[in-house]
Structures are given as C-alpha cells and as structure tokens.
Amino acid sequence: MEVTASRSTWPQALCDPSGQRQAKPRTKGCTMVIDKGLGQHAFADLLSTSGEYIDIVKFGFGTSPLYPLPVIRSKIELAIKHGITVIPGGTLLEAAVRLDLVPGFFRQVMTLGFTGIEVSDGTINLNRSLRSDLIRDAASLGLKVYTEYGKKLFGSRIDVDDFALTAEKDWECGAELVTVEARESGIGVGLFDEHGDCRDGDLSHILDVVPNLDRVLWEAPLKEQQVSLIKALGADVHLGNIPVQDVITLETMRRGLRSDTFNLQKVQVLDYMI
C-alpha cells in the first residue's frame, strides 16, 4: 500500500466510526465539563485540544467570585469563541438565595458575560415557586438555564417520581436540560452507590417514567459511569461534571474509538484487492 505525505486528514470514518456524532452546536450528546480552578493558560490549552468536544463549561461550586476579574472575563470570552456555553456553579446561586443577593448575582453574571446559569438545590431547600421564578428570570435575560435535581449529601438517592415531576415543571419554565446530581466525585450520590457503581434499578425506573430523556443531563465524572450510561442510553446521552483531562477520552467512547464502546462502530464492509 502506498502512503503519500500529502494527505492532511484522517479518513472521516476513522474519526467517527459510529457515524452518529453531531457537529457543534449540538442538540444531542452534549458534554459539560467542570472547571475547578484552571488558570488562563491551562484553560486555553484545554480548549485548543478539546474545545470541539465541549458544549458547556461550568466553573464549579462557588469558584467564580474568587478569580481576578480579568482572568474570569478572559476565560468566558475564550469559551464563547469556541461555541461553548459558560455557567457558574449552582452552589453560587444557592449562596445568593441564602444571603438574599439574587439580583446582585444576576447583575454580575450578565456583566461578566456568562451565557447560562445552573439552578440547583443540592445544599439548600428551594421551594417550587422560587425555583420556577429563578428559571424564568434567567431565561428572560437571555441566559440558558440548566437545572439540577438531587442533594449533595453522601447517601442521597433519587426519588424518581419526584424527579419526573420536577423535570417537567423545569422544562415548562424554560430549562434547557435537567441534570441528575452526582457531585464531582460520583460516589454515594444520586444514581451512583458508595462504590460509584450505577444503581441499575433506579436507572430503569427513570427510563420508564421520565419523559424527554433527550433533555436530561447525567453527571458522570468517572469513566465506568460514562460507559454504563453510553451503553444504556446511547452515544448521544448528555453527560456532565466531566474532568478536564477526560474530555477527549469521553469523546472516543462516544464514537467507538475505545474498547469499552468499540461495538458502537458502524461497520462498513469494504472490498480489498488481494
């Protein structure tokens, strides 16, 4: 076989053996990355290598106010240039609710150029009326709204029927996606047990009763969790809290370029001359 140096790209089918991945802006198979404090250079490096495969960047927890203003502005602007939605962590909004500083929260979100927010109640109790108001208020400002369901306390599990009702109301209020809580550890919270393994019974129940599964984002920071959800729901499942170093690894699994999901490949039969 003759190989010439003039070819500048990999064969298309080899880049995506599944033949299914959407280009950005994606409506299927979104990847949300959690940034826990990357500096400008590390963030730029992340986007230069993986920006094509990131749809949402969340500045985790309440980290956003701790950055020097020029740094956070630079990071937000760079993410937007790569077609990425940028949101502060839901814990920051929870703190604003607790401290009665919601107007100030929204003012600074808009000033800095964030393009979305996360509405959660993982640490506080947020009544339905206020949750709905926060979603509607953010949407009215032109922000994309990602809500989150579940508590952060170790051992917390999903009340599937309540999740279904909450998700339906969140979507009605204007939420883009509803996220299933798993924290950044993925252990002992929500869908995952104390070993980080998927609670298959809970997942099956969710699949039975929750409508619009294409509008659910599953936090799955660990590789085996990502594999389980891809196998159960397909390569186009929305996945979140992905560590920055694992973005390309996850993309290989979505495309069938890693042994764990190799069978996702759309096999083409080719004739070779012997």
The answer to whether position 205 is within a domain reads: yes
Neighbours of 243 (CB within 10 A): 16
For 237-263, write each residue's pLDDT tens digit. Answer: 999 999 999 999 999 999 999 999 998
The model's confidence at residue 89, banded by pLDDT at 50, 70 and 90, is very high
The answer to whether position 17 is within a domain reads: no
For 199-231, write each residue's pLDDT tens digit. Answer: 999 999 999 999 889 999 999 999 999 999 999
The answer to whether position 226 is within a domain reads: yes
The answer to whether position 141 is within a domain reads: yes
Higher pLDDT residue, 8 or 27? 27
The answer to whether the CB of 180 falls within 8 A of the CB of 218 is yes
For 226-243, write each residue's pLDDT tens digit. Answer: 999 999 999 999 999 999
The answer to whether the CB of 37 falls within 8 A of the CB of 61 is no
d(CA 110, CA 65): 14
> By residue range, what is the domain housing residue 119?
22-262
The answer to whether position 51 is within a domain reads: yes
For residue 86, the domain's CATH number is 3.20.20.70
The answer to whether position 272 is within a domain reads: no
269 contact partners, CB below 8 Å, separation of at least 6: none
The answer to whether position 5 is within a domain reads: no
The model's confidence at residue 22, banded by pLDDT at 50, 70 and 90, is very high
The answer to whether position 35 is within a domain reads: yes
CA 83 to chain centroid, in Å, comes to: 14
Q: What is the mean pLDDT of residues 178-185?
A: 90
The model's confidence at residue 3, banded by pLDDT at 50, 70 and 90, is low
The answer to whether the CB of 157 falls within 8 A of the CB of 206 is no
pLDDT at 229: 95
The answer, yes or no, to whether residue 107 has pLDDT greater than 80, is yes
pLDDT at 274: 36
Structure tokens at 191: 């869908």
For 109-164, write each residue's pLDDT tens digit. Answer: 999 999 999 999 999 999 999 999 999 999 999 999 999 999 888 888 899 999 99
pLDDT at 4: 57
pTM of this prediction? 0.92
pLDDT at 5: 55
d(CA 163, CA 157): 11
d(CA 39, CA 56): 18
- Mean per-residue pLDDT of the chain: 92
Percent of the chain beyond pLDDT 90?
Answer: 82
Domain count, the chain: 1
